[in-house]
Amino acid sequence: MLDGHTLPLIFAALMGISILAYVILDGYDLGVGMLMVGVDRPDRDRMVATIGPFWDANETWLVLGIGLLLVAFPAAHGIVLTALYLPVALMLLGLTLRGVAFEFRVKAQQHHQNLWDIAFVAGSTLASLTQGYMLGRYVMGFRPGVEAEIFALLSAFGLAAAYAFVGATWLIAKTEGELQKRAVRWARATLILTALGILVVSVATPLVSDRIFERWFTFPNIIGLAPIPLMTAALFAGLWVFLARMPRADHSLDLVPFLGAVGLFALGFLGLAYSFYPYVVPERLTIWQAASAPESLLIILIGALFVLPMILGYTVFSYYVFRGKASELRYD
């Protein structure tokens, strides 16, 4: 029954899926951008070619997630955006800089092309760091204080490392030769940093709230939830061992590291979602307290039933068309 209890849950799930899709899909875009530091021009072109068909469409999930927050949970939208006004502005600046640099890097005069590549790296890095900072502020419940700021800064670098990792695994799947070998080295290095970032967030989250601590560390919850950290640890170990045997001459398993990275993001998101449920603003507003009127949510849901299949259909179609290794970057 689509009532005042069920509809907010549906929209919370849709918003969560949108955010997870964005973090994974645009995460590898941003990661590839950050990894362009110190790479020569031909390889930079190949790296851009791996994300060229996808990067702008991947940002659709961010628009969808924020849009759902605005229309379905307006009270939460006001609190979150007020608390994160500056980092949100910086994130949008970074995304805009990256988008402009992506178009101008091949259209500018040759002596300016390197400057636009620097802008591409800077925009990708700024967007990644600000998103990580916002994650840290959210986990800490937007509380003031030096400890909260330090944690937010650690989260900023942790998420940037995770984006670099998923970006490196994307390059493994989409490139070959020396660039693929370099991507394997990047993936192994950033895997360690990603593990440290997830560990910091996992340790800090239960300490933020007695309620979250009890959800994870009281019996029998601790038994039922044990598979999440155990699967995460196993996936980290498996990826480390697998990457040590990469690249393969036949390229038959090049997509496996990227799928493993997707699994890590999904497990991390699942842990956060369980920790904070039913709050959409930690310890302040529940899903039902922040939700719009049921009549409004029902109308929005009807619209979402048209929009979501279109986004999903286009995403699947584009990834199918541009499957396999990336070809030479051309603009003619």
Residues in a beta bridge with 286: 279
Q: Is residue 331 domain-resident?
A: no
In tens, the pLDDT along 27-48 reads 999 999 999 998 888 899 899 9
In tens, the pLDDT along 133-154 reads 999 999 888 988 898 899 999 9
More confident site: 206 or 23: 23
CA distance 186 to 172: 10
pLDDT at residue 251 above 90?
A: no
Q: How many domains does the chain contain in total?
A: 1
In tens, the pLDDT along 159-177 reads 999 999 999 999 999 999 8
CA distance 47 to 121: 12
| Owner of token pair 């549906």 | 10
Q: Is residue 332 domain-resident?
A: no
Q: Is residue 329 domain-resident?
A: no
Q: Is residue 1 domain-resident?
A: no
Q: What percent of the chain has pLDDT over 70?
A: 98
Q: Is residue 328 domain-resident?
A: no
The stretch 47-68 carries a mean pLDDT of: 89
| Owner of token pair 């070809």 | 327
pLDDT at residue 110 above 80?
A: no
Please name the residues in contact with 9: beta carbons below 8 A apart, sequence gap of 6 or more: 287
pLDDT at residue 103 above 90?
A: no
Enter the tokens of residue 152. Answer: 């937010």
pLDDT at residue 329 above 70?
A: no
Q: What percent of the chain has pLDDT over 90?
A: 60
pLDDT at residue 256, as a whole number: 94
Enter the tokens of residue 144. Answer: 């003031």
pLDDT at residue 332, as a whole number: 55
Enter the tokens of residue 193. Answer: 């940093």
Burial annotation 95-112 (CB, 10 A radius, 16+ → b, else e) = bebbeebbebbeeeeeee
H/E stretch holding 171 reads helix 146-174
pLDDT at residue 328, as a whole number: 66
- Closest of 128, 131, 138 to residue 164, by C-alpha: 128
- Closest of 91, 261, 133 to residue 188, by C-alpha: 261
Q: Is residue 255 domain-resident?
A: yes
pLDDT at residue 24, as a whole number: 95
Tell me if 6 sits within 8 A of 296, measured CB to CB: no
pLDDT at residue 327, as a whole number: 72
For 42, 81, 133, 256, 266, the CA distances from 171, given in Å and listed in that order, are 14, 34, 26, 12, 20
pLDDT at residue 86, as a whole number: 94
Cα dihedral angle (223, 228, 232, 233), rounded to 10 degrees?
-10
Tell me if 153 sits within 8 A of 189, measured CB to CB: no
SS3 3: coil
Residues in a beta bridge with 281: 285
- Omega cis (within 30) before 74: no
pLDDT at residue 195 above 80?
A: yes
pLDDT at residue 50 above 70?
A: yes
For 52, 62, 96, 332, the CA distances from 102, given in Å and listed in that order, are 9, 19, 10, 16
pLDDT at residue 200, as a whole number: 87
Q: Could you count the other beta carbons within 10 Å of the beta carbon of residue 280?
A: 26
- Crossing angle for the helix pair 74-83 and 85-104, to the nearest 10 degrees: 80
Ranges of H-type helices in 218-324: 221-225, 227-244, 256-276, 287-290, 294-321
In tens, the pLDDT along 255-301 reads 999 999 999 999 999 999 999 999 999 889 999 999 999 999 999 99
CA distance 165 to 264: 11
Q: Is residue 29 domain-resident?
A: yes
Q: Is residue 299 domain-resident?
A: yes
Enter the tokens of residue 73. Answer: 């949970």
Rounded to 5°, angle at Cα 132 from 131 and 137: 95
pLDDT at residue 283, as a whole number: 86
pLDDT at residue 186, as a whole number: 96
The stretch 108-125 carries a mean pLDDT of: 86
Domain that holds residue 161: 6-321
pLDDT at residue 136, as a whole number: 92
CA distance 260 to 232: 10
